[in-house]
Amino acid sequence: MNSQLPPGPESKGLWGDLNEFAPNPPAYLLKLAKTYGSIARFRILNRSMYLLTDPDMIREVLVKQQEIFAKTPFDKDVLGRFLGKGLVTNDGEFHKQQRRLVQPAFHMKRIQAYAEIMVQYTDRMLNGWQDGEVRRLDEEMMALTMFIVSKTLFDADAETMEMQVQAVGEAMDVVQRSSNADYRRGFPVPSWLPTRNNRERKRAAKVLAEVLGGIIAERRREGTAVDHGDLLSMLLLAQGEDGSQMSDQQVLDEAVTLFAAGHETTSNALTWTWYLLSQHPEVEAQLHEELDGVLNGRLPTFHDLPNLPYTGMVIKEALRLYPPAWVLNGRSPLTDTEVGGYPIKKGSIVFISPYVMHRLPHYFAEPEEFRPERFTPEQEKELPRYVYLPFGAGPRVCIGNAFAMMEAQLLLATIAQRFRFELVPEQEIVPNPLITLSPRDGLQMRLVAREKLAEKTVSHMVNMAYVPAD
């Protein structure tokens, strides 16, 4: 073992590197990686931090030593206040047990049945859009994915349960905003203090418990034999090896976790995709060519996805540049250990950042460029493992990654057939690195109906045909 500490910036007094880190964490971590290489050491207050950008070291932490590297107490505290003991916040044997119980809900045969719901809800949204109007696409994508996850998670129809779905969505927004405040501050305020954030978070948690808990209780009364075809049914029907089932509280925690992860991450991925397409008309044109050739104006289905490879490549490249999970939850070793031959002390924090990994030129040539062609099957095979990490990696890889990719591709295909988007001028599009990565001030776009473009093109061609010759 190398007794020397990993390289890093010189210590800067009591605050360490906080003043450089806090204003723009992704930019600071990317600078560290480019300056110090595969492992970089820095300090926040009295805590040693390490950033890993070497695939082998990342595998050590996420796979080979995953039993030693636990979620940090900070993340467990902040996220646990609204996710309870769901998959994101628990560790060890309990995490393994819960993952085994939840996994069948995300079997491909199960989730492909949700494809029609995703497309129908998207088509319904588009019917309310008008050519030329300006919309906040980040809010539109958030609302759409919220209704989709409500239907697929607990069979809540957007019309018959609109008030309940809206209440859950607003409560989730409150708890996520309050958690973001904790992350910006760098430490969680004790939950017993009557601060505004804590009061709002408790009211929101009560709403979640009442609405989702009520649905769970109603399902229990129906009996375990009833399968509504949603994810909640699978959670209620799940049995451990000893035949035991999850408690209502654990079902609630898992449902809230899936609800949060199931709409915020996909909505942010799509928001960034629309922004990137608006800035790269040549990519947008190739996307339209594929959609028009394969679908010819009809709604996509799950079975169309293999025939829409470029659509998938666009999503993957958007996830490379703007991964919603821009940094994986910090890992803290339970004992002294080593990674890549360097000593890592118990209680220190190890960071793995998909945002940073995806922007390193030795993994992705000209990494700031938007090039979906990076993800042709041939080029994707050339990528080393643990370099492209939009859903994490190892035993804790996002359990809903197939669901999320299917949803993103179907929504992109449905919307892009009918509309393209022009960025409203004088907006500063800046990433906001909180729990997820979203545009700091939203994303205002002007809608351009593609049939209007077609009409203009045809009209222009007709007029040209009748221009008299000199």
Range name among 53-62, 182-191, 259-268, 391-400 with the lowest pLDDT average: 182-191
Tokens, residue 6: 């990993």
Contacts of 82 (CB under 8 A, 6+ apart): 172, 175, 176, 179, 201, 204, 205, 208, 256, 260
Contacts of 165 (CB under 8 A, 6+ apart): 146, 147, 150, 156, 158
The pLDDT tens digits of the residues spanning 35-58 come to 999 999 999 888 899 999 999 999
Range name among 115-124, 230-239, 341-350 with the lowest pLDDT average: 230-239
Q: How far apart are CA 272 and CA 318, in angstroms?
A: 7
Q: How far apart are CA 231 and CA 150, in angstroms?
A: 10
413 located within any domain? yes
The pLDDT tens digits of the residues spanning 53-106 come to 999 999 999 999 999 999 998 888 888 888 889 999 988 888 998 998 899 889
* Average pLDDT in the chain: 89
pLDDT at 1: 54
pLDDT at 460: 39
pLDDT at 470 over 50: no
118 located within any domain? yes
pLDDT at 157 over 80: no
Percent of the chain surpassing pLDDT 70:
93
253 located within any domain? yes
What Å distances lie between residue 355 and 64, 167, 232, 314, 319, CA to CA?
Answer: 23, 32, 32, 17, 9
Strands 437-439, 419-423: pairing kind: unpaired
86 located within any domain? no
Range of the domain at 158: 108-320+398-470
Q: How far apart are CA 158 and CA 84, in angstroms?
A: 26
What is the domain-level CATH number for residue 426? 1.10.630.10
pTM of the model: 0.91
pLDDT at 296: 96
User: 241 or 71, which is more confident?
Assistant: 71
Query: What is the distance in angstroms between the CA of the first residue and the CA of the last residue of the chain?
Result: 85
Number of domains composing the chain: 1
| Nearest one of 388, 103, 75, 77 to 258, comparing CA atoms | 103
- Give the mean model confidence (pLDDT) for residues 256-275: 92
The total of other beta-carbon atoms located within 10 Å of residue 282's CB is: 8
pLDDT at 164: 76
Beta-bridged to residue 200, according to DSSP, are: none
Range name among 67-71, 103-107, 347-351, 427-431 with the lowest pLDDT average: 103-107
- Give the mean model confidence (pLDDT) for residues 222-240: 80
pLDDT at 469: 40
79 located within any domain? no
Dihedral Cα 57, 62, 66, 72, nearest 10 deg: 100
pLDDT classification of 224: cutoffs 50, 70, 90:
low
69 located within any domain? no
